[in-house]
Chain A
């Protein structure tokens, strides 16, 4: 009797300790913001005809800075509204999990944007590499977030790998279309997927705080 009660208590303690470490702020507003920004950036990039290797990489690096700033703004606003610390332990863990892959993505972007001799074909590799890295970042952060984030990250990895295969195949056969078209790929991945997940979360995250 006492043993079964003690076992149950230990299980409850373990569950609560795990729950305490999970990032629990609403993700839907963040996903919708990042998705909307990604889609808008794709349309603007295409309309503006940003098709040079350096221009493409630099443009999307700038967009990613805005997306990160926007996401932080949403997190901060939710925390202030809820009377919680902005830089809480789960937020720190999530940031630490995201950081390595984000850093590699940044380096890839800089290495692509820096040389002036870069061929457009080489830059076609950048969107799928960013997708894979972003997926890895989300998958890592997913260990401190609701389970869906790991699946979402996995989706990015699969889409990124599939795009890598297509770019690899076409670069030796038919060649790649104009680099300006890569904005649509970025828009579909970083805009469309975020928007879709944001809408899904909007319906399933009821009861959590809204920004």
Chain B
């Protein structure tokens, strides 16, 4: 089996928690911090750490605003993040296809 696709997988996205965050954001234009935390059953500290890593990689952008007098923090995939996520998915599909075709 050709190990190349596996080696090309983005290490930032490859972590389970960050992959989950990227998956949620890929299906929504934006998501609030609490929405992601509750959907993924993560602790505040855990999800904050993952989001910081994704922000540092330039994959996720953060918007802070006020809604009804309360602070609202939302996250969205950047175009770079979307490209990286698409590439990651394509590589996973390649790995599956390679095994099916017996390469």
* Chain A residues close to B by CB (< 8 Å): 2-3, 6-7, 9-10, 12-13, 16-21, 24, 76, 79-80, 82-86, 88-90
User: Given the known A-B contacts A3-B99, A6-B96, A9-B92, are A16 and B1 also in contact in the complex, defined by CB atoms under 8 Å?
Assistant: no
| Shortest CB distance A208–B (Å) | 9
B11 within 8 A of A: no
What 9 pairs across the A-B complex have the smallest Cβ distances? A3-B99, A16-B23, A17-B27, A20-B27, A6-B95, A84-B32, A20-B24, A80-B68, A13-B23
| Shortest CB distance A187–B (Å) | 34
21 contacts between A and B (CB under 8 A): A3-B99, A3-B100, A7-B96, A9-B19, A10-B93, A10-B96, A12-B20, A13-B19, A16-B23, A16-B27, A16-B39, A17-B27, A20-B23, A20-B27, A20-B39, A21-B28, A83-B32, A83-B72, A83-B73, A85-B30, A88-B31
User: Given the known A-B contacts A2-B1, A82-B34, A84-B35, are A17 and B68 also in contact in the complex, defined by CB atoms under 8 Å?
Assistant: no
User: Given the known A-B contacts A3-B96, A7-B96, are A16 and B20 also in contact in the complex, defined by CB atoms under 8 Å?
Assistant: yes
Inter-chain contact A83/B24, CB cutoff 8 Å? no
Inter-chain contact A88/B95, CB cutoff 8 Å? no
Inter-chain contact A85/B67, CB cutoff 8 Å? yes
Chain B residues within an 8 Å CB radius of A17: 23-24, 26-27
- Complex Cα spacing A2 to B24, Å: 23
The total number of A-B Cβ pairs within 8 Å is 86
Inter-chain contact A2/B39, CB cutoff 8 Å? no
Give the secondary structure class of B's interface: helix
Inter-chain contact A3/B98, CB cutoff 8 Å? yes
Q: Which of B67-84 contact A (CB under 8 A)?
A: 67-68, 70-74
Partner of B70, one of A10, A80, A89: A80
B89 within 8 A of A: yes
- Complex Cα spacing A172 to B73, Å: 61
Partner of A83, one of B20, B40, B70, B92: B70
Q: Interface residues of B toward A: which range?
A: 35 or more
Chain B residues within an 8 Å CB radius of A88: 28, 31-32, 35
- Complex Cα spacing A18 to B99, Å: 26
Chain A residues within an 8 Å CB radius of B74: 85
Most buried by A among B6, B23, B38, B70: B23
CB-CB nearest in chain B for A4: B99
Inter-chain contact B72/A84, CB cutoff 8 Å? yes
Chain B residues within an 8 Å CB radius of A7: 96
Inter-chain contact B24/A16, CB cutoff 8 Å? yes
Chain B residues within an 8 Å CB radius of A76: 68
Inter-chain contact B92/A10, CB cutoff 8 Å? yes
- Complex Cα spacing A94 to B89, Å: 28
Partner of B23, one of A2, A6, A12, A89: A12
- Complex Cα spacing A12 to B14, Å: 13
